[in-house]
Structure 1
Amino acid sequence: MKLHAALRLFAGSMLLLSLALTYWVHPNWVFFSIFIGLNLIQSAFTCWCPAIAMLKKLGLKE
């Protein structure tokens, strides 16, 4: 799997996980969803994403 496909898979999975936690565990988990959204927005402007650094360390190639 390529790096950017893995990044989209990771971001989507984390968002669905946070929404499930919000629904089934506690409403305050919605702040995790907000964090994920804000991180995606800031990465669009700064071209830096912590998840890409992590995925590169796991050996994914661009």
Structure 2
Amino acid sequence: MTVNRAISIFAGFMIMASLALAHFSGQINLGQMSWLWLTFFVGANLFQMGFTGFCPAAKIMKALGMKEATSACGTNSSGKCC
């Protein structure tokens, strides 16, 4: 597992956990449709992307012509910034 995947799993878990804690403490009601479900969807997507490597947003952005960095710091194979 890479650091990027571990961070995605951790971030997704924390987003979903914070929504669950707010719901069960009575601060928010996830039983009704609200924009908080978008937040849950983002957290769930981050969480699953950490395990599977599949990210729908990345697929869409690639289809729109955006380039993918060759490393985590955004440098190419020669070590120079893209």
Instruction: Give the structure-1-normalised TM-score.
Output: 0.51
Where does structure 1 lack aligned partners over 5 or more consecutive residues?
A: 49-60
In the aligned structure 1, how far is the partner of 2:38 from the partner of 2:21? 15
CA distance in 2, matches of 1:5, 1:18: 20
CA RMSD of aligned residues (A): 3.4
Residue identity in the other structure for 1:35:
L
Separation of aligned partners in 2, 1:37 and 1:14: 7
- Of the two structures, which has the highest relative contact order with CA contacts closer than 8 Å and spacing of 6 or more? 1
Among all aligned residue pairs of Structure 1 and Structure 2, give the percentage whose two residues are the same amino acid.
2
User: Which residue of 2 is the match for residue 44 of structure 1?
Assistant: 55
Aligned equivalent of 1:17: 18
Per-residue CA deviation, residues 14-61 of structure 1 (Å, 9 max, x unaligned), is 101111101112215x742x21343328x832317xxxxxxxxxxxx4
May I ask how many residue pairs the two structures share in their alignment?
48
Write out the 4+ residue segments of structure 1 that deviate beyond 6 Å after TM superposition.
Answer: none
Counterpart code for 2:55: A
Unaligned 5+ segments in structure 2 are 47-53, 60-71, 74-82
Larger fraction in helix: 1
